[in-house]
Chains A and B, each alone.
Chain A
Amino acid sequence: MNHPLRQLVLTRFREFFRRPSTVFWVYGFPLLLSGVLGVAFQNRPAAQVPIDVSVDGIGEMQAAESVRAKLLGDARIVVAMGTDRECRNRLRIGKTGLVIIPEASGRYDYLFDANRPESALARATADSALCRADAPELAVPTEVAFNEPGGRYIDFLIPGLVGINLMGGGLWGVGFVVVDMRVRKLLKRFLATPMKRRDFLLALIISRAVFTLIEVTILLVFAWLAFGVAVRGNFGALAVLVVLGAGCFGGIGLLVACRVETIESVSGLMNAVMLPMYLLCGVFFAADRFPDAMQPLIRVLPLTALLDGLRAVMNEGAGWGAVDRPAIVLAAWGAVSFAIALRWFKWR
């Protein structure tokens, strides 16, 4: 059966799979990215904490040596000794997080920047090392490494990558394609035939859904084989989130592209839409870390909703219960964008 919808979908497939570079950027690049990031963050050796001890304090060399010996009781600490000037310089350029200046009679001053995470860490580490050295009777806790799948950084990262793929795929895959066709006057040419507009838009969505499913499957299988990242929750719930995510971002892509007439402006618009979500929605680190005042905004963004849902299902082992809120947010964004896009859509 030579149905127009089938032909239009086939056309999308042909245009896509016959361009090796497109296939690489859509399917290969996310794998590469997750591979590199996964390896980079997997099984890191315990973080080293650099701390400097100044030899120019009132206690001079002897006090400095004493502090150094106490610090070395903590295996995480790397100690460097130097003049006051050298130590301050190293602190300024970030080579060390904390400078300890020994004073008389066992007292010491901490010199550090409380706003730097590494300084805060160095201060706490130094303090605990010095206290423990002075109070050997304190009980030492036994440390047990926690490296269970589901709690590692890679487990956090993979749903993030699935999310940004759905976003990028939906926006570029629909928006860019539409503008390209408009620039080529292909939309106008199609309009000059008895083609049904519904078939055309449906073909875009169907082909997008297929590309996305392939993409997500490849990424998840890779993450499972390479890093043991498993889906702990319900697969059906995951599939629903993926499909809703693809549809939602496809709708936004169509909206972005609905009246744009040049490739340059659609590229700019896409970036304007995607960049804030990249930064705010918790792709690489949890969105909770942003200030409370921003949370209401962050929570209604579609990518945040999608990532919350994906992480709940993949990492926390959630079932359908975790899908409700993300599904509502995604469906709302998708439906509203799609409706506005259809109304404003410029065919010629």
Chain B
Amino acid sequence: MSAAIRVSNLIKTYPGRPPVEAVRGLSLEVSRGECFGLLGPNGAGKTTTLEIIEGLLAPTSGHVEVLGLRWEANERAIRQRIGISLQETRLPDRLTVHETVELFRSFYTSGISPSEAVAAVSLEEKADSYVEKLSGGQKQRLAVACALVGDPDLLFLDEPTTGLDPQSRRELWEIVRAFKARGRTVLITTHYMDEAERLCDRVAVIDHGQVIALGAPPELILKSGGEHVIDVRLANDQAAQALAADDLARLPTVAAVRPSDGGFSLSAAEPHTALPALLLLLQQKGATPAGLGTRLATLDDVFVALTGRHLRDGDLPP
């Protein structure tokens, strides 16, 4: 079976002085039945990439294939088979939830009933409420219901949980999981690494319009130096200076060392081996730790390891 999405050498340059290169030679392939995440900080080119794949934006160059079809030749056929939730759509205020979904249903030749779509996002109780009366999370679920009502093979979600409370985020994740459980494909963008880790079978980490890492989240975490991270914060600058990154890197099972707020983060394969050695080193150097902890590595650590920046802020390190 052909891939759900195939993108190669995608380039999108916005004219201007200087021209903005939003996407620079991006390639990826999403298999059918997979939940694929585009992960990256704001401005990395996620939404531009997504909108080109969705056929809403023309690429400057490159090849895009959706469900084995090309936009130039088969726009109508593709539209019938995909569902899209844009980053920010304000649906008509004085339509009820049911009427809104019914409107979107009318655009598709086949699909599920509006009531089924409303039920799929658990908005039955709000079916007769006006859109303007919904909370942010409910509006987002309604947007997803409008994307689901054509019974798509492929679902696009652009930052579906940005700005939502934790409860609403979990509800949306459930909707995505249920859709995927029916063997359908999902392409999602997010800058929340926990979201990507929980939902996605594979992620592409995007930065400056290029894929800088691709794989299953656990695999990426392993590759970046281990599943565990030891964070050590030091009491003062003097202590920090006494401690050289090179010394830390020589500790057993430590694969990578990088500076973090007032200390260091160590990627370690076996924290139970690395920790005693670290404590001994601190004692020898006379450096007092102000904080010491271990945790499981996240995709954010992967991103920091690759770029030296955090996913959420996209700022340069101080």
Chain A interface residues (CB < 8 Å from chain B): 2-4, 6-8, 10-11, 14-15, 18-19, 184-186, 188-195, 348
Contacts and interface: CB of A to CB of B under 8 A. Distances in A.
Contact of B95 (A15, A188, A194): A15
Interface residues of B, number: 27
Interface in B54-96: 54, 56, 76, 79-80, 84, 86, 88-95
Given A2-B105, A194-B150, A195-B107, 16 more contacts: A2-B106, A4-B106, A8-B106, A10-B99, A10-B103, A14-B95, A15-B92, A15-B95, A18-B94, A186-B89, A186-B90, A189-B84, A189-B91, A192-B79, A194-B109, A348-B56
A224 B2 CA distance: 70
Nearest to A199: B107
Contacts of A348: 56
Contacts of A186: 89-92
B150 A188 contact: no
Interface in B205-231: none
A238 B83 CA distance: 47
Given A4-B107, A11-B103, A194-B108, A189 B86 contact: yes
Contacts of B54: 192
Nearest to A12: B92
A4 B102 CA distance: 10
Contact of A7 (B91, B93, B102): B102
19 contacts: A4-B107, A6-B106, A10-B103, A11-B95, A11-B99, A14-B92, A18-B130, A184-B89, A185-B88, A185-B89, A188-B86, A188-B89, A189-B89, A192-B79, A192-B84, A193-B79, A193-B107, A194-B107, A195-B107
Main secondary structure of the interface of A (DSSP, over half): helix
A192 B86 contact: yes
A185 B86 contact: yes
Nearest to B93: A15
Contact of B150 (A2, A4, A14, A193): A193
B56 A188 contact: yes
Interface in B6-36: none
B104 interface: yes
A194 B79 contact: yes
Nearest to A16: B94
A184 B94 contact: no
Contacts, number: 70
Contacts of B93: 15
Contacts of B107: 4, 190, 193-195
Contacts of B150: 193-194
Contacts of B91: 184, 186, 189
Contact of B103 (A8, A19, A192, A194): A8
Interface in B103-138: 103-109, 130
B94 A15 contact: yes
Given A15-B95, A18-B94, A186-B90, A192 B56 contact: yes
Contacts of A7: 102-103, 106
Considering the complex of A and B, which 9 residue pairs feature the smallest CB-CB distances, nearest first? Answer: A184-B90, A194-B79, A7-B106, A18-B94, A192-B84, A193-B107, A195-B107, A4-B106, A189-B89
A247 B281 CA distance: 83
A195 B107 CA distance: 5
Interface in B141-167: 146, 150
Contacts of B80: 194
B56 A191 contact: yes
Contacts of A192: 54, 56, 79, 84, 86
Q: Which of A19, A189, A191 has the most CB of B within 10 A?
A: A189
Interface string B257-301: 000000000000000000000000000000000000000000000
Contact of B92 (A11, A191, A194): A11
A15 B103 CA distance: 13
Contacts of A18: 94, 130
A73 to B, nearest CB: 67
Nearest to B54: A192
